Amino acid sequence: MPFPRSSGILLHPTSFPSRFGIGDLGIEAYRFIDFLRDTAQQYWQILPVGPTGFGNSPYMSYSALAGNPLLISPEKLQDDGLLSEHDFFNLPQFPADKVDYGLVIETKMPLLQRACENFKSKATPLQQKAFAGFCESTAHWLDDYALFMAIGNAHEGASWHTWEPELAKRQPEALEKWRQRLSGEIFYHKFLQFEFFRQWSELKSYAKLGNIQIIGDIPIYVAHNSAEVWANPQIFAIDEETGEVALMAGVPPDYFSATGQLWGNPVYNWDRLQQDDFKWWVQRFEAMLDFVDIIRIDHFRGFQAYWAVKEGETTALNGEWLEAPGIAFFEHIKDKLGTLPIMAEDLGVITPEVEQLRDRFEFPGMKILHFGFGSDAGNGYLPFHYPRNCVVYTGTHDNDTTVGWFNQLSDSERESLMHYLGCNSSDGIHWDIIRLALSSVANQALIPLQDLLGLDSEARMNFPSTSEGNWAWRYRADVLTEEISSRLKTMTQTYGRAPQ
């Protein structure tokens, strides 16, 4: 569906300031929403917020539906009487500009354990009722997730396909035995999800009061070692005997990698999904629309055709394109849920068939300004080629920051860019690129906060095809200055993107 002319900021919640070493759903999240409202923005885009494992990637989560416990605010738990200020004594000295995930986990998880124990002994009847209601309404995914996490922890984090065969294949007697054995741990994981979604719901309601819509990111694929694959192996390309991934997801060589990107996620068994009327996907979209206002589908092209790489390959070079039932899928989703507020991440190898699928349902695609320079006037990422029904970004979480990108251009490329922009100095180049995005005809413009702050490559969020050192950037509480706020608001109003 086309969206009205508007703009917003891309920022993952882990990037908020916090005395607990990682951004959370506490006071700084509310202050950020105030900043969006005060600068006439209408959107806050986040990355996936599921519980992460090795590498801390939000695109490789233990669940497609659960929330990351590390985003729970201990201070809000304190407000609810589940923690006290005494519990926060002797917090370590966390890095101010980065998330040290190891130190955060070591510090924060014991606090969440303590809050859970206090909930068991101190919860009011109203809190108990709310918890029971949450567990009942989310049982279709929460029961499997909590059991999956509890068993996984008992197996020291080993992937589910290496568990005892009766557990890996979910034999009812084995599952019941482990439910009883790990009842306390299962309760704990349900409690964490209850608190995460309670805090998120309050924050989302606050955003709605400020007329801020939240754009959530739904990765097309889920991790192999996830509750969904363990609970529903029949809808994924999984070897029935070993539980290994039979066909891995990825993309062929592209802008980011000469050997392609081999993600390792299992691709879908689309025939089985279609036989079941895409039930699993319908539930996923329903849950997502309860959580956010707009959905950005990551790797949208995979709904038309997907790159499949056989087990045993170490790069994505030797894969093949297989067709997916994209038209039937989105027609069914539309019949079930109505016209969906969807944005399509249509970057990479895009064919006319992918464009036809996108346009058939009027999903806006993405335009990245960083990709528009370095070639000629025929480059489709230059703004004068844009249709109105698209979303323009300076860059995404996978790109360098605008300042970092500019600094790595050749002298001739910089000169050409500045000539296009009509500027005589590279000082404030990030504002020139932001102006280009906001002034374009694209209905939506989204700016990573790093670009708004004019930060260099040190603030980059992700280096695709690398497994470590990503997703760690944080900003400091004092950087959202009145000068930045005023400049962004004026520019947003000037180019007709402010709320009417």
Active-site position among 143, 202, 244, 298: 298
Instruction: Say if residue 465's pLDDT is above 80.
Output: no
Report the relative pairing of strands 247-251 and 261-266 from DSSP bridges. Answer: antiparallel
The amino acid at residue 431 is W
* Contact (Cβ atoms closer than 8 angstroms) between residue 216 and residue 209: no
Prediction pTM value: 0.96
Tokens standing for residue 56:
């801390």
Inter-residue contact 345 to 287 (CB < 8 Å): no
Through-space distance between the first and last CA atoms of the chain, rounded to whole angstroms: 19
**82-119: per-residue pLDDT in tens?**
999 999 999 999 999 999 999 999 999 999 999 999 99
- Give the pLDDT confidence of 369-419 residue by residue, as tens digits: 999 998 899 999 999 999 999 999 999 999 999 999 999 999 999 999 999
Q: What are phi and psi of 366, to 5 degrees?
A: -110, 140
Catalytic residue status for 217: no
- 144, 217, 228, 345: which is the annotated catalytic residue? 345
Q: Give the angle subtended at the CA of 392 by the CAs of 17 and 482, to the nearest 5°.
A: 40
Q: What is the number of residues in the chain?
A: 500
**So what's the pLDDT on residue 374?**
87
Question: Which element (helix H / strand E) includes 180?
Answer: helix 172-181
Spatial distance between the Cα atoms of 205 and 31, rounded to a whole number of angstroms: 14
Cα atoms found within 13 Å of the Cα of residue 492, Cβ hemisphere only: 28
Active site residue 298: yes
Tens-place pLDDT, residues 142-175:
999 999 999 999 999 999 999 999 999 999 999 9
135-139, 143-147, 354-358, 372-376: which has the minimum mean pLDDT?
A: 372-376
Concerning whether 478 is annotated as a catalytic residue, the answer is: no
Model confidence over 291-301: pLDDT tens digits? 999 999 999 99
Cβ-based neighbour number of residue 315 at 10 Å: 17
Nearest CA to 298 among 64, 476, 32, 33? 64
How do residues 319-352 score in pLDDT, each as one tens digit?
999 999 999 999 999 999 999 899 999 998 899 9
Choose the catalytic residue: 100, 311, 355, 398. 398
Phi, psi of 190, deg, nearest 5: -70, -40
Domain ranges of the chain: 232-341
